[in-house]
Structure 1
Amino acid sequence: MFSKRIFTSISMGCLLFCLTVNYAAAKNPPQVGDRLEDVMSYSLPAPGPEEHRTYLGLSPDQDSMTLQELEAAYVLVEVVGVYCPVCHTQAPDMVRLFHRIQRDTALSGKLAMVALAAGATPMEVEHLLRTWRFPFPILQDGDYSLHKILGEPDTPFTFLIDGEGNVLYAHLGRINPDNLFNELQKLP
């Protein structure tokens, strides 16, 4: 009887310890005011389509890229999951947002827009490009490395950073594209 109580106590203690360690290890996604220097310098595979490379200012033979290499003063990033139903539902809104940004003379030259496909294979990125018809690049984060640096946010997670990696906007879940566009128009 005594050993059963000790075993139960030790088991409960170990369970509580494991839950506490997992909770403590979990990071929060970036918030407005955070600085993401490691995200800016993280190397990702360059997008495949030539028009996406041109949009980002990459050379045709460039195999990898970082966000800090982009000539844009701001980068709007949407972290997506290939099998995320909300991401699929939001895709048309993101396409419309991109076109609104491109038509806005104040924003089009200073804001780049990319999607980051967390955990996606090259074939899955190609599928997303065909399905969503994004006119902007979908960057592959096949091993979730950048996703982990971002605190492993659920998808979709949308954030805006400046050239130094300062987070100016962060939103977990489906966005309201009109509200986001209004916020983007306030950029200096």
Structure 2
Amino acid sequence: MPKSPAEKSYLGLSGEGLFKIPQIKAKVVVVEIFSMYCPYCQKDAPGINELYHAVENNPDLKDKIKIIGIGAGNSPFEVGVFKKTYGIPFPLFGDKDFTVHKMVGEVRTPYFMVVKINEDGTHLIVHSQLGDYPGAGPFLERVLNTSGLK
């Protein structure tokens, strides 16, 4: 659970402890698996920030799409350094013991997943890709097309 009230509000979450993706108040969640030590993640950070702002500045999308990052093998401190260094505006979560990383198949970084949250609370990964971030515009188009929001 995010510690920051602003991040809790962004995700539409309340309370403490763990949460699951379908609890996020959105129709689609973009998940980036990253590492603060990954040079590709560092290079892509400004473009992912641009994606966040493109969504948040679009009244038709801001309540439908949310973005989170999971730091594979990163402690909360390391995630905080990455967030501060690259001005990341969306919630980042540490995964120091690789628990989430193992659950998603021990993917390399950066790895992107587009998760569609269905009305009944189930969810489905509608797109995933290793690296090759094409920029905010093309990636947002991919998110809209694969999720059915377009």
| TM-score after normalising by structure 1 | 0.71
Q: Distance in 2 between the 1:156 and 1:76 partners?
A: 12
Q: Secondary structure of the residue that 2:123 maps to in structure 1?
A: coil
Percentage of pairs with the same residue: 27
Q: Secondary structure of the residue that 1:185 maps to in structure 2?
A: helix
Q: Distance in 2 between the 1:165 and 1:118 partners?
A: 22
Residue 127 of structure 1 and its aligned partner are, at CA, apart by 0.7
**Any conservation in 2 of the 1:90–1:174 contact (CA below 8 Å)?**
no
Greater CA deviation, 93-102 or 49-58?
49-58
Map of 2:49 onto structure 1:
95
Map of 2:86 onto structure 1:
132
Residue 66 of structure 1 and its aligned partner are, at CA, apart by 1.6
Unaligned regions of 5+ residues in structure 2, if any?
Answer: none
Residue 161 of structure 1 and its aligned partner are, at CA, apart by 0.8
What letter corresponds to residue 49 of structure 1 in structure 2? S
**Any conservation in 1 of the 2:68–2:91 contact (CA below 8 Å)?**
yes
Q: Distance in 2 between the 1:174 and 1:78 partners?
A: 12
State which structure, 1 or 2, has the greater radius of gyration over its C-alpha atoms.
1
Map of 1:149 onto structure 2:
103
| Aligned pair partner of 1:74 in 19, 24, 28 | 28
- Higher strand residue share: 2
Q: Secondary structure of the residue that 2:60 maps to in structure 1?
A: helix
Whose RCO is larger (CA < 8 A, sep 6+)? 1
Residue 165 of structure 1 and its aligned partner are, at CA, apart by 2.6
Q: Distance in 2 between the 1:140 and 1:58 partners?
A: 18
| Aligned pair partner of 1:185 in 118, 135, 144 | 144
Map of 1:49 onto structure 2:
4
**Any conservation in 2 of the 1:86–1:174 contact (CA below 8 Å)?**
no
What letter corresponds to residue 21 of structure 2 in structure 1? L
Unaligned regions of 5+ residues in structure 1, if any?
Answer: 1-45
| TM-score after normalising by structure 2 | 0.88
When the two chains are superposed, the root-mean-square deviation of aligned CA atoms in Å is 1.4
Residue 184 of structure 1 and its aligned partner are, at CA, apart by 2.6
**Any conservation in 2 of the 1:107–1:185 contact (CA below 8 Å)?**
no
Q: Distance in 2 between the 1:64 and 1:101 partners?
A: 25
Residue 49 of structure 1 and its aligned partner are, at CA, apart by 2.5
Query: What CA deviation, in whole Å up to 9, does each residue of 1:61-94 have, x standing for no partner?
Result: 5232221211111110010012100000000000
| Aligned pair partner of 1:172 in 127, 130, 137 | 130
Query: What CA deviation, in whole Å up to 9, does each residue of 1:5-36 have, x standing for no partner?
Result: xxxxxxxxxxxxxxxxxxxxxxxxxxxxxxxx
Q: Distance in 2 between the 1:173 and 1:179 partners?
A: 14
